[in-house]
Amino acid sequence: MTPSGQEIASLDLGNSTCRMGLYGNGKIKQERFVSTKTFLSNPKSLTGQYPALPPTIAYCSVSPPAEAALQDWASESGSELFNLNALTCGDFPITYPHPDEIGQDRIANSLAVYKTCELPALVIDIGTATTFDVVGAKEGYAGGVIAPGPQGFLDFLHQNTALLPKVTIEDKRPICPIGTNTIDAMLLGAHLGFAPMVGGILSHLEKEMLRTHGKEPKVILAGGASHHLDMPRCENRPFLTLEGVALAFAQNNVIV
């Protein structure tokens, strides 16, 4: 049994980025991140940024190669691992008919919201994919929507056309809404198209949740790319996934 009050090492292995932080007193601190490509070649590029870690690292993963790299590192270093999934989420209810299909990051987000927020709630997590997850007081995780992340718009164009270049969403956004070169035109398509896509999906989900729950949901914005979306009425919790992983570990190890 892990002693009460001990900090929890929480790790989120994503398709593009791997993030880690220490959870204590209800919040994540010392958050660090590296690209998943970097983590694959050297997990210590992330874990080694901490002078000391708890004996067990709690994690969720949507990247099997990154998870394999973590397991190899843990075996060599003597660290223990706790994996959050549909079978290890404790008393968090899942009414979704196919729990084995839910991304572990989506379980982490929904569990964190279930434990800490007014319900019903809707989590929008913006990363490589943009996920919308519905969380209710009785249903727990009920389902949601999956759409491309902002970088996905650009990657699709580059990968499926002969002449359009590789462009990153982090490149400077053009000020004028009329692109005067190919890269600016692509960036405008991603930036100007992403927010309306999210807004349209959100509108449909809010209407359905108003019908089924009797009130509109609290909307939580999470994910490493959430800064690409300006939604003032949402609560922004960039470390939500790490929080959920830590809360699941705490529950399984009776930390209060």
What DSSP letter does each residue of 82-126 carry, written as one string? EE-STTSSTT--B--S-GGGS-HHHHHHHHHHHHHS-SSEEEEEE
Q: How far is CA 56 from CA 78, 221, 237, 249, in A?
A: 9, 28, 24, 9
Judged against a pLDDT cut of 60, whether residue 189 lies above it is answered with: yes
Q: How far is CA 189 from the centre of its chain?
A: 24
75 CB neighbour count, 10 Å cutoff: 10
107 CB neighbour count, 10 Å cutoff: 27
pLDDT per position as a tens digit, 170-185: 888 899 999 999 999 9
Terminal CA-CA length for the chain = 12
Judged against a pLDDT cut of 70, whether residue 225 lies above it is answered with: no
Q: How confident is the model at residue 119 (pLDDT cuts 50, 70, 90)?
A: very high
For residue 63, what are its two tokens? 């990247």
Q: How confident is the model at residue 233 (pLDDT cuts 50, 70, 90)?
A: confident
How many helices (H) and strands (E) the chain has is answered by 7, 10
pLDDT per position as a tens digit, 79-109: 999 999 999 999 999 999 999 999 999 999 9
DSSP assigned state of 228? G
Find residue 221's DSSP bridge partners.
Answer: 124, 236
> Which residues have a catalytic role annotated?
105
In whole angstroms, give the CA distance from residue 5 to residue 129.
Answer: 34
Are the CB atoms for 85 and 141 separated by under 8 Å?
no
Type and span of the H or E element at 245? helix 240-252
Judged against a pLDDT cut of 70, whether residue 254 lies above it is answered with: no
For residue 181, what are its two tokens? 């070169």
Judged against a pLDDT cut of 50, whether residue 256 lies above it is answered with: no
Task: Tell me the CATH number for domain 8-148+195-252.
Answer: 3.30.420.40
Q: How confident is the model at residue 5 (pLDDT cuts 50, 70, 90)?
A: low
| Residues counted in the chain | 256
Arithmetic mean of pLDDT over the chain? 93
Type and span of the H or E element at 158? helix 150-160
In whole angstroms, give the CA distance from residue 247 to residue 254.
Answer: 10
